[in-house]
Amino acid sequence: MKDLKKLFYPESVAVIGASENMLKWGSIIISNIMAGGFSGEVHPVSTSSEVVYGRKVSKTIADIGKPVDLAVITVPAHSVLAVLAQCASVDVKNIVIVSSGFSETNQAGKELEKKLSDFAHTHGMNIVGPNTMGMANFKINLHAMFSHVRLIPGGISLMAQSGNVGNQIMYWAEQQHIGLSKFVGSGNEAVLMCEDYLDYFNSDSDTSVIIMYVEGVDNGRSFMEAARRTTPNKPVVLLKGGRTGIGSKAAMSHTGALAGSIRIFKSAMEQCGVCMVNTQSEMLTLAAAFDTMPLPKGNRIGVVTLGGGWGVITADECEEHGLVLPPLSEDVRERLNAMLPDFWSKGNPVDLVGQPDPHLFRESVEAMAASDSYDAIIFLGVINSFKTVLRLYNATIKLGKDVQMDLAEMERHLDGLQSAFLDTIAELMEKYEKPIYPVALVSPPDQPVVHRSQRQGKYSAMIFKTPEEAVRCLAKQYGYAKYLHKIGRLQ
């Protein structure tokens, strides 16, 4: 395995081609590093400026006069080899080449990239790219990349062969309060390949889940071996670009990646225990679930719903995805009988027949989670149901009803009840080591996907937008649990 420790955990960074021109990569990268709170040394290097954002500029990396752990190169492609020679002269081993104009363009670009690759291998250099949007380590506030996102540090590390895809996923993660550990845009992979990042993330103690956007794999055997080494320890969630003929052509012109048969690729990934998904949003949601929830130990699902229709839809989805809904055990039925009207469903799914009772919500979920009959619980329709209560409350105020709380105060009260219920879900997952999937009645655009509890427990509650999303995520997690059981890593 290549030693990438100083690539992701540098103590000093040089940006070669640094600038204050906001439209240039040299400005985008260095401003992101400096504004992002990186505590190490930052050295601007440029032949055209004396000072960049208040920092004295060195003409070459050799002029810095101090050790440099990571160099980020933003100069035009034709100047990159000369800059690499300067890096080699002062023993800089870890380099990010943002510059484009290599194998993704034409034959001359391919030949230039071959020279770059040969030089790097001769001098023992780790090179990210070329043609990359950069990399980041959110644990140490290092943002050596295009995206000026500020993410919650978490356990998910992202590798993307497309910087644009990585950029979008990071913005979604920021919006949804999903924590990331690291990001790397692998670009053309002239030196460091996707399997090298996979191996490193496997060894990285700050990474618990790995997500990958891959358009093509140059060395299929090497990638499969890295995947086999990784999946027994950490989930790997992969989105494959170039699954169709036209997509393959687009991938070739984008990063120079040659996409192979998707049927063969899927079969190989299944053998290695990799979880394949079809969309970016599914990839991020599944990764967040792996990072915040326990794995289901089986496919027996208990469903609790505030209304009957959601239960029907969820039951259909479960069966279509290989999940089963066992009937209620006698002890669960008796426990719920004591709390519900006589006309409740008395089956699985459990229909709470619209009872707006926070105590009932907790007791019904715990009754299912405590039962040996179920490996996972899906709870439908309670999260954000207070939005409808608020509209009703507001209507009565408009009609002149005298109320104890104004609308804003009532919203805070209901929000507090919901937050307490989500905390309860996290506590129950820890108590019973079973995943619980709450599905929202409505999902506002600014709804965080991960609920961050003040208690800082082992797990966090996630909020799913639809029954379909929850079931598909659960089915993928169960598939990974089956793989771990098959190889003897899960009892």
Which uninterrupted H or E stretch holds 212? strand 209-214
Fold of the domain built from segment(s) 1-131: Rossmann fold (3.40.50)
**The predicted structure's pLDDT at residue 369:** 97
Q: What is the pLDDT of residue 258?
A: 46
Q: Give Dmax over CA atoms of the chain in angstroms.
A: 82
Sign for the pseudo-dihedral over CA of 420, 426, 432, 438:
positive
CA distances from 422 to 359, 384, 435, 465 (A): 13, 11, 13, 15
Q: How many CB atoms lie within 10 A of CB 271?
A: 12
Residue 248 is predicted with a pLDDT of 52
* Closest C-alpha among 242, 172, 259 to residue 211: 172
Compute the distance between CA of residue 402 and CA of residue 333 in angstroms, rounded to an integer.
40
What dihedral do alpha carbons 174, 177, 182, 186 form, nearest 10°?
A: -50
Tell me, what's the pLDDT at 188? Answer: 96
Tokens of 111: 């030949």
DSSP 300: B
Quick one: pLDDT at residue 401? 85
pLDDT at 247: 53
State how far the Cα of 162 lies from the Cα of 415, in Å rounded to an integer. Answer: 39
Domain residue spans in the chain?
A: 1-131, 149-292, 293-486
Same fold, 1-131 and 293-486: yes
Other CB atoms within 10 Å distance of the CB of residue 293: 25
Residues 453, 450: Cα–Cα separation, whole Å: 9
Residue pair 33/143 in contact by the 8 Å Cβ criterion: yes
Query: Cα–Cα distances in Å, from 414 out to 129, 297, 304, 352, 362?
Result: 49, 34, 21, 19, 15
Q: Which of 1, 41, 65 lies closest to 203 in space, CA to CA?
A: 1
- For residues 181 and 231, give the distance between their C-alpha atoms in angstroms, rounded to a whole number: 18
Return the DSSP state at 11. S
State the SS3 of 232-244: CCCCEEEEECCCC
| Stated pTM of the model | 0.92
Q: Measured in Å, how far apart are the chain's first and last C-alpha atoms?
A: 30
Both structure tokens of 328: 């209620």
The structure tokens listed for 129 are: 């790219």
CATH code of domain 293-486: 3.40.50.261
Q: Other CB atoms closer than 10 Å to residue 26's CB: what's the count? A: 25
What count of other Cβ atoms lies within 10 Å of the Cβ of residue 288? 26
What's the CA gap between 170 and 164, in Å, rounded?
A: 10
- Block means of pLDDT (10 residues each) for the chain, length 491 residues? 94 98 96 97 96 97 97 97 98 98 95 97 97 97 97 97 95 95 97 98 98 94 97 98 66 51 89 96 97 97 94 97 96 92 92 87 95 97 83 85 84 88 96 97 86 86 97 98 95 79
Count the Cβ atoms, other than its own, within 10 Å of residue 264: 10
| Count of C-beta atoms within a 10 Å radius of residue 180 | 29
Amino acid making up residue 444: P
What's the fold here for domain 149-292? Answer: Rossmann fold (3.40.50)
